């Protein structure tokens, strides 16, 4: 019997591959990982397509109770479904390792993820450096380890994909302190918030890795019918209404001629100088 790690793609229930759908229909149990990313459709639509119940696997289940997912997978097929591609988060690699240690065969069904679909903005995938994650700042926690990675990418002329934080089923700390478990409403970082935090970190670090006039691309609801791609300076993108989640942000490195021609279709008025400054032959 097999544990299937199945990528669901980026948008809705129809983005699954035929191979993935066939695998799910063979499985006795189907789990949906629902904290590293989300599909832009209801779980009920997945269940209608699959013809079976889908169990939502939150962070606590995947990271602390993985044995529940693996239980019985040596006797019946089990599907663990992931938005995007199964290896878009290290958690899923950990689940694969646990399964193999338990003697459970693992098969992977890949799909599109933000890591390759980001090429829709016109910047060449092979010219991206290390991707970074930007977390929500709090009064007491303002992680900025992404800064050094962005600086290194830009020094090499490489683009940087910024993955923006989502908070799903996060416990309220004040309630926990009183012995009660209460979950906060879901939160999804916007491009506007990400830009604000980036500029705050640059001001604090002062390394000149980027600034308000740096060329960037904001992408919202990648693959959706109302997908939105806007190129401009960071200062300009901070003022754009990108609408509903999910959002991501790309900081441009050196922009070659063909990339510049593609970006021109998404460019805000007034960003020509930023594009010209990033152009390389």
CATH for the stretch 115-278: 3.30.950.10
* Residue 222 marked in a binding site: yes
**Domain ranges across the chain:** 3-112, 115-278
Structure tokens at 23: 């695998």
pTM of the predicted model as reported, rounded to 2 decimal places = 0.92
Each residue's pLDDT tens digit, 175-192: 666 777 666 788 999 999
User: In terms of DSSP bridges, do strands 228-233 and 215-220 run parallel, antiparallel, or are they unpaired?
Assistant: antiparallel
CA distance 190 to 230: 14
88 marked as part of a ligand binding site: yes
- For 130-198, give the DSSP string: --EEEPPP-SS----THHHHHHHHHHTT-BEEEEEPEE-SPBPHHHHHTT---BPPPEE--HHHHHHHH
Residue 10 assigned to a binding site? yes
Query: What is the DSSP annotation of 29-90?
Result: EEEEE-SS---SS-HHHHHHHHTS--EEE-HHHHHH-HHHHHTTTTTS-EEEEESB-GGGSH
Identical fold between 3-112 and 115-278: no
CATH class, 3-112 region? alpha beta
Q: What is the pLDDT of residues 188-245, one digit of tens each?
A: 999 999 999 999 999 999 999 999 999 999 999 999 999 999 999 999 999 999 999 9
* Interaxial angle between packed helices 43-50 and 18-26, expressed in degrees from 0 to 180 and rounded to the nearest 10: 80
In the structure encoding, which two tokens stand for residue 34, read together?
């629902």
| pLDDT score recorded for residue 54 | 95
Is residue 140 a known part of a binding site? no
């Amino acid at each position: 019997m097999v544990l299937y790690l199945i990528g669901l793609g980026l948008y809705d229930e129809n983005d699954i591959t035929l191979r993935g759908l066939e695998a799910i229909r063979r499985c006795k149990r189907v789990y949906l990982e629902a904290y590293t990313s989300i599909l832009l459709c209801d779980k009920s639509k997945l269940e209608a397509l699959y013809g079976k119940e889908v169990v939502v696997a939150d962070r606590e289940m995947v990271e602390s109770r993985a044995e529940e997912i693996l239980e019985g997978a040596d006797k019946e097929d089990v599907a663990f479904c992931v938005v995007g591609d199964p290896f878009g988060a290290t958690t899923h690699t950990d689940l694969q390792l646990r399964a193999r240690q338990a003697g459970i065969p693992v098969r992977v069904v890949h799909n599109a993820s933000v890591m390759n679909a980001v090429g829709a903005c016109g910047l060449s995938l092979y010219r991206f450096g290390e991707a970074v994650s930007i977390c929500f700042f709090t009064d007491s926690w303002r992680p900025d380890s992404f800064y050094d990675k962005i600086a290194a990418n830009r020094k090499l002329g490489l683009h940087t994909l910024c993955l923006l934080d989502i908070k799903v089923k996060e416990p309220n700390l004040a309630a926990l302190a009183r012995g009660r478990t209460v979950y906060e409403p879901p939160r999804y970082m916007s491009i506007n918030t990400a830009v604000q935090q980036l500029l705050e970190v640059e001001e604090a670090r002062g390394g000149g890795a980027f600034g308000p006039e740096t060329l960037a691309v904001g992408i919202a609801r990648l693959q959706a019918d109302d997908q939105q791609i806007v190129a401009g300076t960071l200062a300009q993108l901070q003022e754009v209404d990108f609408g509903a989640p999910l959002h991501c942000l790309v900081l441009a490195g050196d922009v070659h001629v063909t990339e510049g021609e593609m970006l021109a279709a998404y460019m805000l008025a007034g960003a020509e100088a930023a594009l010209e400054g990033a152009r390389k032959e």
